[in-house]
Structure 1
Amino acid sequence: MDVNGGMLSAGEIRIKQVWEWHDTARTALPCTESDMEVVSVFESFWDACNISALGGRLDILSGELEIDYCRLIEAMQNIASDFEELVSSQPERVLRQLSVAMDLHRSWTPNQRGGRCIIRLKRVKPQVSLTNLRAATVGRLVCVRGQVTRVGAVKPLVCSAWFSCVKCGERLEDRSVFPDGKYSAPRSCQSEHCKSMTMEPQRDTAETIDVQAIKLQQYDTAHQELERIPQHIEIELVGPELVDQCAPGDELVVAGVVKSLNADVARGRHDKRALERSIFLLYIEANSIHNATRSISSDKNESENIIFASNDAANTTTLSEEMILKTRFSQVMDGSSCDIVNRLVASLCPSIYGHIEAKFGLLLSLFSGDQVTPGGSTIVQDNKPSEKKVSKNLLTKRANSHVLLLGDPGLGKSQMLRACATIAPRSIYVGGNTSTTTGLTASVVREARHGAALEAGALVLADSGCVAIDEFEKMDKSQHAGLLEAMEQQQISISKAGVAARLSARTTVLAAANPTGGQYDRDRAVTENCTKLPAPLLSRFDLIFVLIDDPQRSSDTWLSSHVIRQHNRHATGGKNNLANPALSLSHQENSQHQHGNQSNEIISWSILRKYLSAAQSRPSPRLTRSAAQLLRATFLKMRSEATMNNTPITMRQLESLVRLAKARARLELQSIVTPDHAADVIALYGTSVMDPCRKLGAHRTGSKNFAHLTASSSDSKIVTNLINMLHDATVSTGSPWFTLDDIKNRLSHYPDLNTAIRGKPTKSLGDYIDILRDQNFLLYQKRDDNNEASSSVSSAYAYRFLNSGT
C-alpha cells in the first residue's frame, strides 16, 4: 500500500523493492510517491538514451556508471528544465532516482551477477574554492580541487545489519540501515509478547563497504591567497572504486556532497554532553574523484612512447609540436638560441641586478625533471632515435637538479628563490628556521575516527615541482638528515606507528644559505664557510654558487642606479618586475655591463609559468652522440685532474652534467641535446663550486681548473713531518685546536723541521698550512667551546687538526 492507503501497482512495487535494495548500500532515504513518478520518468529517459552519448561507461561487475555532468544536464533539459538546480540542491535523492531507474532499465535484481547501479558524475562544474564552503553548502553537490595532505587507512564500514532480541532471540523483520555510517540499534523487540529494549546485531549478516578518509588542501594558495592560512577539508571516500586511488601530494578534483559532523564526535567523544554541543565540522562525501597527478603522468609516458614509435612519425609529430609551441610562445622563442636564454634569465628575477650564472642555474633546475631508468636512455644519431626497449622493473634515477646559493647577506638570494617558487607551477617556499623535519618530509598522525594516517610534508606536496628553502644553514642536523634520501632517491621512506610507506618526492630543491660569521671568506673552503652544512648534503647539489659582494666602482654605479630606479617605479605605481640591464650569458663578457632599457624583452611571470608547464609536459630530450661524447670527455678530464689534487670527482658529477644538459635543451623546447647545449652546461658548471672542500682564493667562483700547490719530494717530507708534529701535540695536550702561534711554538721543539721550512726560498709556513687545509688535515673554523682546547687558544677561530685527513 502507498502512503495514502491505496494499493500499489506492480511497477510501483518493483520500484520500491529496488529503492530499498539501494538503502542497504549507504544512505537510507524514504521512497515517496513523487520519487516513484520521477523514477518512472528517468527509466523512460534511460530507455531512449544512448549512454555513450553522455560520455558514460557502465561497469557490469561493480554497477558503477560514469556520466559527464555537462552532457547529462544538457540531455535533461527536455525532461526537467530545473534539473541542474535539483541535482545541486538534492544530490543524494536525485542520484538515487537515477540509479534506481538505471537498474530498472537493465532489469537488475540482487540475485543477478553484478552490483547495484551507482551514478558517478565526472567533470562537474563549476569548481568551488574551499574558502567558499559554508553552512549554506551543506547537503549540496560541489566540486573542489586541491592537494592531498593526509591519507588514512582503508577500513570496512558497516552499512546495515540484522538485529535480534537478546531476551527472546527473535530476529527483527527489517534490516537496520546506518545512515552515513552512524550506528543506531533498534529500540525494542517487535514481538507482541516480548518488549525487550536490548537488541544485539547479528555480525554475520552485516554488510560492509570500504571507506577511507583523506584531507584536501586548497590548491595553488601560494599564488592566490598569500596572507591566508590554506583551507583544508576532509574527504570521505566510500566504495572500492574510490578508495586507495591517491597518495599524499597528489592533486585531486573531487565531486561530492557537503555534510556536517559534530566536532566532539569527530574527536572521538560520544558522551551525552558531546552530542549536545552545536559546533559542527564540514566534510565532503565523494561521489567521484579525478587524480590529475596520475593522469598527467600516464599521458606523458604514453605520449613519449607514441612519439618515438617510428622515425617518420617521430619527426612529423615533433615538428608539428614545436611549430605549435613556437607560435604560442613567440614572445619567448623569437630570435636565436642565445636570445631565448638571455630573455629567460633576464625575466627570472628582474628586481635583482646581475648574478647571471646563478639565475641561469636556477632556470635549468626548474626545467629539469622526468624520472630516468638506468639503461633506458637513448642516444640519438642524425636525429633518429635508436630502438631500445626498457624494462619497467629497473630502478629509476633522479632527474631533478638541485641548486644551492651561498654568499653574503643582502645579495638577493631570497628574492631569487621566491621568484622560482612563483614561476614554478607546483612549488612551496619554506624557511629553514621555521620548518621541522616532519614538516619537510612526512609524518604519521593518529585520528580518533580513522586511526593512523600519513600526512605529507613540503617535499611530498611539491612532488614534480620545486621546494625553495631559505635560511638553509639554520636547519638542525635532523632536518638535514631528512633531506638526504629525498634529494637523491627522490622518495621518502617512513616507518612509524606500525605504518611503513614510501612516498614520491620527485622535487627540485633550491636552497639559500649565509656563511658562518655573516661574510664569505675566500681563504676558507665552502665547508669551512658554512660549517653547519654536512658534506653528504652538499654533494647532492648539482650546482653551488658562491655570491660575494665585491666592491667595484663600475658595477656599484649600475647597481645603485638600478635600486633607485626600482624605488622610483614603485613610488609611481609601476610594476615591480623591472628589467635588468642587458647582460650576456657569454662567460667572457660577464663583467661587461651593456646599457639600455630592455623592458620590452622582459617576459611576465604568468607567461613564464605557462612556458615552463609546456616544457615539462614534453618528453625528456635525448642526448645526441656528439653531445654525449663532449660530456664524457669533460668528465674524464675532471677525473684525471682530480687524481692530482685529491678532489672528489665521482659519477655523481657526470649525472649532474647530463641532467643539466637535458634541462638546457628543454629550455628551448628541443627534443634532442645538441653539442651547443652541452657546451653551455659545461661552461656554467665551471663557474660553480665543484669541490666544497676547496677554497676559492682570489677567484669569485669555482674554476674548472683544479691546479693548486703541488708538492715535491722534499715538500712531501715536510708535510708528513708537520702532520706527525700536530698528531703528537694533539695526543699530549688532548686538544686538536691550534692557532698559528701554537704551530710556530711547536716548531721550536722540532729544529730539523723548522730549518727545512726556513730553507725554502719560495714557500713559507703559511703555504704548508694551506697544503694541509687542501688535503683536509686542517680546518679553519670557529672553536668548539664544548671540547677541551689548548690553553694558548684564545681566539674565536683556530685550526682544527683532523688526523685522518677526511
Structure 2
Amino acid sequence: MVLQFDMPARWRGFLEEVCHERITDLVHEYPDVESIEVLYEELQAFDPDFARQAIVNPVETLRSSNAALEELLKDLTQGETSKIPGKVRLVELASSENILLEKIRDEHVGSMIALEGVVSKISYVRPRMQHAAFACDCGHVTYIRQHDEQKLIRPLRCEAHEGGCDRDNRATRWRISHEQSVRVDSQSVELQELPERVKSAQIAKRMSCLVEGDLAGRVVPGDRVVFNGTIFRRPIRRGSMETPVFELFFDVHSIERKDIPLDEIKVSDEEIEKIMELAKRDDIYDILTASIAPSIFGHKHIKRSLVLQLFGGVSRVNDDNTRSRGDIHILIMGDPGVAKSQLLNYMSDIAPRGQFASGLSSTAAGLTAAAIQSTDGGWTIEAGALPMADLGLAAIDEFDKMSDNDRSSMHEAMAQQKLSIKKAGINTTMRTRCSILAAANPAKGKFRDPRNDSSGRIPELTQQINLEAPLLSRFDVIWVMIDQPAKEEDRKIGAHIVSNRQAGTPEWLIDQGLASAPISKGANIETKDGQILIDPDFMIKYVSYTKKTVHPTLSNLAKEKLVEYYVKTRISGGGSTENLDLHGVGEGVEDGRGSSLDSVPITARAIEGLVRLTEAHARIRLSDEAGVEDALSAIRIFDHWRYTLMGDNFDETSIQSGRSTSKRNIERNIKSFIILENERTTQSIHLNEILTEMEKHGAKPQQVEDILDHLVNAGDLFRPTGRDNYQPV
C-alpha cells in the first residue's frame, strides 16, 4: 500500500522518469495546451500499488499529481511559468474499470471508472468560482474553496489569527474580489448509453456529467467518447427540502474520443473468413437482398437498394477542402399499409449505429437539435436522431410530418452532413455523417397515379407528399409503393403474411416462461425455404468490416460507363439508351421516353448518386476497385426507381421545382399570351380568351384555371376588375 505522504514524491519520480518530454512540450505549447495525458498502463508498469491508488482514492492521488507537476514546471522554467495549471489526465484505464451506464450503482461512488457512450446534450461553457476571495469591510481577504457549482460558500467570520477583524458574517459585509478569485471553465454534459448496447424495448440510460478546465467545450452532441472520472451523489430536492433519495452524477477527469468509425464492433478472425467466403459467391447480392426483412414479401428492387445503402460509398475530402459524402439517402413514398415502417425498423436494427426516429418525434430535439432551457436558467443543446446516428444510419418514419425546426436544418444535415448550431449563446457544429432512410405518406391518404389520368389535374407523385422540392432533390433514390389490387400478387402476399404469422412464437408463452424468445444466431448463416439468409448480427459485422477495410475507387471503364449513361440520357431526353451497352440496364423500363424542351431528364447531381451506388456495389464483394459490372448494377437500380416514379417521361426538373413539365409549359404559354395581348390592347385579358388560346396548346380548362390561381398567388398576375380578368404585374 502506498502511504498518503508518499504521494507527491512518488508522482514526482514517475513524472520525471516517464513524462519528461510531455512536460517540456506543455511548457512550449501553453496556453493552447494546459495538461498532459498519462496512460494507466504506464502508471501500472511504474508501480502497480501506486496505480491502484489512483483508482480507489482518485481525489487525493490526482491532487498530488497536479501538485507534483506544478513543482516540476517551476523547476523547468525557474519559476517563470508558475501560472500553468499543471493538470495530469489519466487515460485508458484497465478494462475492468469500464462500467456500462446501466450498471452504475452506489458502490461505484468515489472510485475512478470509465464510462463509454455518446454525448446527447451539452450546456454552454460558463465560469465557475473554484477559489473565491471574499474581502471584509476591514480590508482583510478570506479565501474559501468552492466544492461544486450548487452553492456559493461564504466565510462565517473574519478570522483574527489570519489578520482579520474577528467579526462574524452578521457584523460585517463581504464582497467577492473577482481579481483575486480563481475561476475555472465549467460545462454540463449528458452522456447516453451506446445505441448498440441498448436492449430492445429498453430506454437508453443517461448520466449527467460535469466537465471543467481545459476539458470544457471539447465535445459536441453525437460524439462517441470515454469519460474517465468519479461518481458523486446529490440529494434529490422537493422544493427547498432535501429527500433521502440521491441522484448520481459524474465528475469527468479526462476524455478519450472514439474517432475510429465502427471501432466498437469487433469481428473475429473466423468471422472475417466467413465474410470473405460470402463475398466471393456469385449470388452474394441475392443473398443480401433476401436477408433484408425476410418477413416482408416482395419489393426486391427496393431491398436491393437498401443493401447498397447499408454498405455505402466512400466519403472523400477534395483538394479545395470541400467534402463529398459517401452515404446514400433513400426516400420511400408509399400508401398506408405497404410495410414502409417495418422496412425502416429492420434497417435500423441491422445497420451499425442505426437509429430509428419519427418526424412526429415527442422529444424537443426532434431529428436535428434543439435549445432547451435547464432548471438553473441556462441553456443546453440536445442532439436529435441525425447527430446520434453519426457514421451510421438514421431511419426516419413520417418524414413528411417533421417540425419546422427540423425542416430548416435538414438541407444542411443531408447535403453537408453537419448541423451548424447557433442558439441560446451556443455556437457549435454537429456531425451528421449518416445515411438517411426516410418514409413518407401521401398528403391525401392515398396516391393517385397521374399516368392513369386524362384530365391532367392529378399532380406528380412527388407533389402528393408534404415535402419541399429542394429537400426531395437531396435523395439519391426515391421509391414509390402504391397499393393497387392485383389478384395473383395479392394472393401471394396474403399467403406469405398468414404463414409467416403462424410461424411466430405466441408472446404469452414467452411471458409465462413456457417458451423461449427467438434469439440471434450470432455469426451463423441459415437457410430458409431453400434461400440462404444472413443472420442480423452477422450482417452488422459484415457491413462494419467492409466499411472499415474496403474503400473502392472507380476504374476508368466504370467512369466511362457512368459518363456515357449520363450523356446519352440527357441527349435522349430521358428516352432510349439503345446505343449504350447496358446488358439489361433498365429492365422493365421501356424505350421511347418522350422529351421536352423544358424538361431535364438527369442532372449532374445524379452522377454523384450513381458513383455512391457503384462504390457500394463493389464494397459488398470486398473489391478496392469498382468495375463496369458495379456501374451497370447501379444504373439498373437508378433506372428502375426513376421509371417507377414517373414512367416513360422522367423529368428531374419536376422534382427540383415541384411542378411537372406540362404544367411549366402551360404556365409559360399563359404568361406569354397575357403579356403580348396586354401590350397590344393595353387592356386586361378575359378568362374566356385565355381558355380559347390555351385549348390550341392542348390545355384543359381546369388546368388553366388552376395555373392562373397559382400565378396570381405567386404575384406574376393580378385581377384588376374581378376574378375573370387578368393583367401581368
> Which of 560, 563, 566 matches 1:629?
560
Pair 1:639-2:599 in alignment: no
* 1:46 lines up with 2:14 in the alignment: yes
The answer on whether the counterparts of 1:331 and 1:603 sit within 8 Å (CA) in structure 2 is no
Q: 1:635 and 1:235, CA in 2 relative to 1: closer, same or farther beyond 3 A?
A: same
- The question of whether the paired residues in 1 share the 8 Å contact of 2:262 and 2:352 is answered with no
Partner of 2:718: none
Aligned partner of 1:617 in structure 2 is: 548
CA distance in 2, matches of 1:452, 1:514: 35
User: Which AA in structure 2 matches 1:225?
Assistant: K
Counterpart residue number, 2:231? 258
Q: Which residue is equivalent to 2:448?
A: 521
Compared CA separation, residues 537 and 119, structure 1 to 2 (3 A): closer
Q: Does 1:366 align with 2:337?
A: no
Alignment check: 8 A CA contact 1:152 1:454 kept? yes
TM superposition score normalised by structure 1: 0.68
Matched, 1:335 2:281: yes
Partner Cα distance (2:568, 2:134) in 1: 81
In 2: Cα distance, 1:158 partner to 1:720 partner: 71
Kindly provide the CA deviation profile for residues 493-515 of structure 1, in whole angstroms up to 9, marking residues without a partner as x: 33333444433222221111233
Q: CA deviation at 1:136?
A: 3.6
| DSSP 3-state at the match of 2:386 | helix
In the TM superposition, residue 256 of structure 1 has moved relative to its aligned partner by 0.5
Question: Equivalent residue for 1:444?
Answer: 371
| Partners of 2:157 and 2:167 within 8 A in 1 | yes
Q: 2:347 aligns with which of 415, 420, 427?
A: 420
Tell me: CA distance 1:397–1:38, structure 2 relative to 1, closer, same or farther (3 Å). Answer: closer
The one-letter code sitting in structure 2 at the alignment partner of 1:624 is: S
CA distance in 2, matches of 1:452, 1:650: 43
In structure 2, the residue matched to 1:94 is: 61
What is the CA distance between 1:542 and its match in structure 2? Answer: 1.0
From the superposition, tell whether residues 457 and 370 of structure 1 become closer, same or farther in structure 2 (CA, over 3 Å). Answer: farther
The aligned residue for residue 656 of structure 1 is 609
SS of aligned partner of 2:609: helix
Cα displacement string for residues 204-227 of structure 1 (whole angstroms, at most 9, x for unaligned residues): 222233322211112116x63332
- One-letter amino acid matched to 1:332: L
What is the match of residue 213 of structure 1? 188
Rate the CA distance shift 1:560–1:70 in 2: closer, same or farther, 3 A.
Answer: farther
Task: After superposition, give the CA deviation of every residue in 1:39-77 in whole Å (9 maximum; x if it has no partner).
Answer: 55x369739x95379x99886436744333356446544
Q: Is the 2:113–2:230 contact (alpha carbons within 8 Å) kept by the matching residues of 1?
A: yes
- Alpha-carbon contact 1:66-1:122 (below 8 Å) kept: no
Equivalent-residue separation in structure 2 for 1:124 and 1:401 (angstroms):
38
Summarize the Cα distance change of 1:298–1:519 in structure 2 as closer, same or farther, 3 Å threshold: closer
Query: What is aligned with 1:284?
Result: 250
Matching of residue 678 in structure 1 with residue 631 in structure 2: yes
Q: Does residue 69 in structure 1 map to residue 44 in structure 2? A: no
Alpha-carbon offset, residue 348 of structure 1 = 1.8
Is residue 605 from structure 1 mapped to residue 536 from structure 2 by the alignment?
yes
Inter-CA distance 528–426: structure 2 relative to 1 (3 Å threshold): closer
* Alignment partners' CA distance in 1, 2:661 and 2:232: 75
CA distance in 1, matches of 2:115, 2:261: 18
Q: How does 1:664-743 map to 2 (within 5 A)?
A: 664-689=617-642, 694=646
Query: Structure 1 CA distance, aligned partners of 2:334 and 2:708?
Result: 23
Report the CA distance shift for 1:39/1:196 in structure 2 as closer, same or farther (over 3 A).
same
The 1:359–1:659 alpha-carbon spacing in structure 2 relative to 1, beyond 3 Å, is: same
Residue 24 (structure 1) aligns with = none
What does residue 344 of structure 1 align with?
288
2:382 to 455, 473, 489: 455
Asked if 1 retains the 8 angstrom alpha-carbon contact of 2:553 and 2:625, the reply is yes
Which residue of structure 2 lines up, in the alignment, with residue 176 of structure 1?
Answer: 144
Q: Which amino acid aligns with 1:678?
A: A
**Distance (Å, rounded) in 2 between the aligned partners of 1:296 and 1:484:** 24
Contact 1:43 1:104 in 2 (8 A): no
Tell me the SS of whatever aligns to 2:544. Answer: helix
Cα drift, residue 290 of structure 1 = 0.9
Pick from 202, 206, 221 the counterpart of residue 228 of structure 1: 202
Q: Deviations over 1:21-55 (max 9, x none)?
A: xxxxxxxxxxxx95215555x369739x95379x9
Shift, 1:541, TM fit? 1.3
Post-superposition shift, 1:680? Answer: 0.4
1:598 Cα deviation from its structure 2 partner: 3.2
Alignment correspondent of 1:155 = 126
Instruction: Determine the structure 1 residue equivalent to 2:154.
Output: 185
TM-score (norm. length: structure 2): 0.74
What is the rounded CA distance, in whole Å, between the counterparts of 2:661 and 2:140 in structure 1?
98
Letter in 2 for 1:94: T
Matched, 1:469 2:396: yes
Q: Distance in 2 between matches of 1:140 and 1:93?
A: 11
Instruction: Supply the distance in 2 between the matched residues of 1:274 and 1:37 (Cα, whole angstroms).
Output: 43
Percentage of identical aligned residues: 25
- Residue 353 of structure 1 corresponds to 297
TM-aligned CA distance change 1:654 to 1:44, over 3 Å: closer
**d(CA) in 1 for partners of 2:603, 2:393:** 25
Question: Which range is displaced more, 205-214 or 639-648?
Answer: 639-648
Q: 1:696 to 1:628 in 2, by over 3 A?
A: closer
- Tell me if the contact between 1:721 and 1:753 (Cα under 8 Å) persists in the aligned partners: yes
2: distance between equivalents of 1:490 and 1:423?
22
1: CA distance, partners of 2:661 / 2:231: 73
Partner Cα separation in structure 2 for residue 749 and residue 131 of structure 1: 70
* Deviation, structure 1 residue 535: 2.0
Deviation for aligned residue 1:345 = 1.2
Residue among 141, 148, 173 paired with 2:112: 141
Residues in 1 aligned to 2:343 and 2:246: alpha-carbon distance in whole angstroms: 43
Asked whether the 8 Å contact 2:188–2:211 carries over to 1, the reply is yes
Higher gyration radius (CA): 1
The CA deviation at 1:631 is: 0.8
Alpha-carbon distance in 2 for matches of 1:464, 1:413:
23
Q: 1:521 to 1:436 in 2, by over 3 A?
A: farther
Shift of 1:90: 2.7
Task: State the partner residue of 2:327.
Answer: 400
Contact 1:63 1:115 in 2 (8 A): yes
Q: Look up the SS of the partner of 1:205 in the other structure.
A: coil
Query: How far, CA to CA, are the matches of 1:398 and 1:772 in structure 2?
Result: 40
* Residue identity opposite 1:233 in structure 2: M
Cα distance in 2 between the residues matched to 1:170 and 1:420: 68
> Which has the larger displacement, 184-193 or 101-110?
101-110
For 2:637, give the aligned amino acid: L
Q: Does 1:245 align with 2:179?
A: no
1:162-204, Cα deviation, whole Å (9 max, x unpaired)? 44431x22345xx432223553232212227832223434332
- The structure-2 alpha-carbon separation of the partners of 1:196 and 1:511, relative to structure 1 and needing over 3 Å to count, comes to same
Rate the CA distance shift 1:537–1:146 in 2: closer, same or farther, 3 A: same
1:749-799 Cα distance to aligned partner (Å, 9 max, x none): 95x998x89xxxxxxx8xx659979xx96999xxxxxxxxxxxxxxxxxxx
Q: Give the residue type in structure 1 aligned to 2:100.
A: S
- Rounded to whole Å, the distance in 2 between the matches of 1:364 and 1:497 is 40
1:51–1:57: 8 Å Cα contact kept in structure 2?
A: no
- Structure 1 residues 425-434 or 352-361, which shifts more? 425-434
Q: Alignment length, in residue pairs?
A: 631
2:370–2:381 Cα contact (<8 Å) kept: yes
CA distance in 2, matches of 1:562, 1:277: 57
